[in-house]
A and B are shown apart, each in its own frame.
Chain A
Amino acid sequence: MRNSFLTILIVALIIASLGILSIYSSNYEKEGDTWRTIYQRQILWVILGLVFFVLISNLNYRRFWDWTYFLYGAAVFFLLLVYILGAVRLGAQRWLRIGWFNFQPSEFAKIALVIFLAKYFSRKSIDDINLLSGKFGIFRGIVLPLIFIGIPVVLIVEQPDLGSALMILILFMAFLYITQVKLRYIVVLLAISLLPLPFMWHFLRDYQKERLLVFLNPNIDPLGAGYTIIQSKIAIGSGGLFGKGWLAGTQSQLHFLPESHTDFIFATFAEEWGFLGSLGLLFLYFLIIRQGFYIAQRTHDAFGSLLAFGISLMLCIQIFINISMNLGLAPVVGLPLPLMSYGGSSVFITFVALGILVNIDRTRAVF
């Protein structure tokens, strides 16, 4: 079906263009050519992403079924590489330097884990057309996949990238829910993961503790950890109905808002485009996710359907956490806004994921 291809392509392109405009705007007043030309790099990444989007949308997604373990292995390998390099260089790192660009393995791990989970839960026995997952016991339903998920998640937490790890865990829960794993197992898992949270406090790093406290009350440290969230709220709140206009947002232009082109790009956007613009952006995201859900429901192939759900949910959770964080409704965890935030890996992986989504819709007629 050409329909979903065009819809997703156009919507994704609009969002990416808005992202580039916002990145341009947020660095427009900064000194130094590297800052001012940052939007050009984003344009390059979007073009690269588009190329891969078209390529992958023509690549049968069943290939990923075959490559699952290879992709999973690669993800763990890259994460380990980051961990080791970080240890060697005595500094935490989230990316690998490959040639002229930085590659962020956690982004790659996200899509790899989605594919892995989709395959794991869509296996069937030979003599039954129903999925195996409905009959999974607690070991095969929860513990085993948790171990598979746990290895990369621990490595991601180590980076430290709490946001991505959190996102993967939520995604895992959603997978369990949608693949007919018994509800009581999920409740048990939730209980197990929530109960030790108070003890987890001691394992958090200082800055992470600060962020959590500041989330509860940003005014306890207005110039330190609470600064970003206060400035972000000011940026969004001062936008008004129509916004201050492109290149006219004072919060982002005058550097009051940190991270204005990455994690807090939504605040930059909302300041300049106002309530209506933000509403439009949310609607565009909603369109993509709705497309993803339609595709998942239309697809009879269990793997394809789960994969489509997984990709849509991955985007949805990232969008939700990121925008909530911009609005001051969630603690500040580093998580980019898909397609908007500056960052090659994120943009590239998102386009690849969308490509897979389109291909699922295109290939399902085969079965």
Chain B
Amino acid sequence: MIRTKVLIIIVIFMFLFLVFGLLNLIGLQGNKFKDLSNNNCIRLTPQLGCRGKILDRNGEVIVDSRISYDLAVMPSGSVQLENTFAAISKLINKDVKDLRKSFNYGYFSPSVPVTVARNINLSKVIAIEQIRSDYQGIVIQPTPVRNYPYSSLGSHFLGYVNEIDRWRLTKLKDYGYKTKDIVGFGGVEEKYDYYLRQEQGGLSVEVDHRGRFVRLLGFKPPRNGKDIQLTINLKIQKIAESSLGERKGCVVIINPNTGEILAMASSPDFDPSLFVNRSGSGISNLFSNSSAPLMNRAISATYPAGSIFKVVVSTAALETKKINQNTSFLCQGSAIIGRSQFKCWNTHGMQNLIGGLTHSCNVFFYKTGLLTGALNIHDYAIKLGFGHNTSFELPYEVPGFIPSPIWRKINKFQNWFDGDTANLSIGQGDVAVTPIQVVRMMSVFANKGYLVTPYIVKNIDGRDISKYQTRIEKLNLKISNIELIRQGLRRVVSEPTGTGNVLSSLPVSIAGKTGTAQAPPGQPHAWFVGFFPYEKPKFAICVLLDHGGPGYYSCLVGKQIIDQMSKEGLI
């Protein structure tokens, strides 16, 4: 019975065929079909929360959120899609081509609606709602977006929000960040993004073959981001920004006793709402602008210190006992150091320390500096917070630089000459400081010997975090030396011949130091750094005008700010 045997073998092969068919579907293509099965019956509907608000120290809103109505289209058949585009384009005055382009750009998967137009005003939303039943796949998505009631106010310390970029995504993936998440860039938005960001909630729903709701698989309510209260005083910030005006530069005002930043203005600034509205040309202008509007000059830019560095030299000289309050040098308009002549900006005659500070006499400090030695000056500059980050919390702070003979020897194989020490003594040469370092240094003299750490966030979600922020370091400077320098700083303003005398007309007693930092080519940088009221300082201020001319101009800006502050009763 050969034929029977053949038949039995055929039957066995038929069953093996079925087993291989099963293996193919389940074993080889199982994962694909599993996904397809889930796509079939599970629909995810995201629900967005609001990003946390940013408040000033008195609880006034600086940044909050508003609802933006976005128009999205559900991918479906191409013919229907074209009809839908045609209908939408009439209503929102947008070209069909643009719509199609943004649709193709944003397409993700067949079950995810694609946003084609953002921020539609309410009347158009209503018009679109009316045609929704006639055309397939139109979805209006209310999305919370950033709202900036003061437009560019404080844009640098706030930062902006935008879609996450590739670099941040790779870094933050493990913390639950996903593609197309909105995250902060720069400033508080970036640093505290983890607290500010909303937690997306959503429904996971099982549907049947007609897309009808079967049951709720899971629901996670969206959570709003945590509110952050800053140490910024909105009124002072406004005054600082308006006084700075169109000039390139920055103003930093801190509380010298605690390190709280009360105002931090940098100019030119930018309007963060450009990123919310996705204005392409506006954003590319920001990035291509040569005066770098996105840069926070208070922490991310370094400048030569100029004459304000004389405060550091004075401290170093007094502390190392190279000079005392009676040590005097004769200023004849210039001094010969090594083989070259170093100029003073005027002829001051006999000058002691207080006189040297008051008149910002270069010759006095050349000689003091040579007595003290470059290494001592370097060490005290480091001690007073230069040459390294201030531990300020916002990102992109730069450390600046203080040169020293050892550094020169090791890194450049060059010798250090007395001329270099002279240059260092008046804050020129390789000295690079940031405005926030300068105002921090000035705080040491305002609070008599304590190095504060500047900080900008006061509390998060109602929890006071200043106790984690504040790290005040006692510098162990002799109180008599501090008093001496304080007197000198006061005289800068109070003496009629002082460089900052223009500020003496104000109703508050101010102490400070001006600086004209040479930065060829172009105008010098104008510095003014000081604190007020002199007796019980509540504010330390630093004004820098980027290539803004002599220090006098900074004094004028400072005067305008302090004047306005006292008028508004803020002091």
Check A236/B19 contact, CB under 8 A, given A180-B3, A250-B41, A274-B26: no
Give chain B residues whose Cβ lies under 8 Å from the Cβ of A275: 22-23, 26-27
Nearest-neighbor residue (CB-CB) of B26 within chain A: A275
A-B contact pairs, 20 of them (CB 8 A): A177-B3, A234-B37, A234-B40, A237-B29, A238-B36, A238-B37, A239-B30, A250-B40, A254-B208, A256-B41, A256-B209, A270-B22, A275-B22, A278-B26, A279-B22, A293-B11, A297-B4, A313-B7, A313-B11, A324-B21
Q: Is B14 an interface residue (CB 8 A)?
A: yes
A289 to B8 CA separation, bound complex (whole angstroms):
10
- How many contacts A-B (CB < 8 Å)? 110
Q: Is B25 an interface residue (CB 8 A)?
A: yes
Q: How far is the CB of A256 from chain B (nearest CB, A)?
A: 5
Give chain A residues whose Cβ lies under 8 Å from the Cβ of B26: 236-237, 239-241, 270, 274-275, 278
Given contacts A279-B22, A282-B18, A309-B7, 9 further A-B contacts (CB under 8 A): A177-B3, A237-B26, A237-B36, A240-B34, A250-B38, A275-B26, A313-B11, A320-B14, A323-B21
**Contact among A180, A237, A296 for B33, CB-based, below 8 A:** A237
**Contact among A178, A236, A297 for B25, CB-based, below 8 A:** A236
Give chain B residues whose Cβ lies under 8 Å from the Cβ of A234: 33, 36-37, 40
Q: How far is the CB of A301 from chain B (nearest CB, A)?
A: 15
Q: Say whether B33 contacts A327, CB under 8 Å.
A: no
A320 to B10 CA separation, bound complex (whole angstroms):
12
Q: Is B173 an interface residue (CB 8 A)?
A: no
Q: Say whether B7 contacts A177, CB under 8 Å.
A: yes
Q: Is A329 an interface residue (CB 8 A)?
A: yes
Check A178/B3 contact, CB under 8 A, given A275-B22, A289-B11, A323-B21: yes
Q: Is A255 an interface residue (CB 8 A)?
A: yes
Q: Is B472 an interface residue (CB 8 A)?
A: no
Interface class of chain A by DSSP: helix
Give chain A residues whose Cβ lies under 8 Å from the Cβ of B214: 29, 254
Give chain A residues whose Cβ lies under 8 Å from the Cβ of B11: 289, 293, 313, 316
Nearest-neighbor residue (CB-CB) of A292 within chain B: B11
Q: How far is the CB of A5 from chain B (nearest CB, A)?
A: 22
A316 to B40 CA separation, bound complex (whole angstroms):
33
Give chain B residues whose Cβ lies under 8 Å from the Cβ of A359: none
Give chain A residues whose Cβ lies under 8 Å from the Cβ of B209: 254-256
Give chain A residues whose Cβ lies under 8 Å from the Cβ of B22: 236, 270, 275, 278-279, 282, 327
Q: Is B241 an interface residue (CB 8 A)?
A: no
**Contact among A178, A238, A254, A279 for B4, CB-based, below 8 A:** A178
**Contact among B3, B25, B208 for A327, CB-based, below 8 A:** B25
Nearest-neighbor residue (CB-CB) of A239 within chain B: B26
Q: Is A362 an interface residue (CB 8 A)?
A: no
Q: Say whether A255 contacts B19, CB under 8 Å.
A: no
Q: Say whether B37 contacts A235, CB under 8 Å.
A: yes
Nearest-neighbor residue (CB-CB) of A258 within chain B: B209
Give chain B residues whose Cβ lies under 8 Å from the Cβ of A261: none
A219-238 CB contact bits vs B (8 Å, 1 = yes)?
A: 00000000000010111111
Q: Say whether B41 contacts A282, CB under 8 Å.
A: no
Q: How far is the CB of B110 from chain A (nearest CB, A)?
A: 11
Q: How far is the CB of A331 from chain B (nearest CB, A)?
A: 14
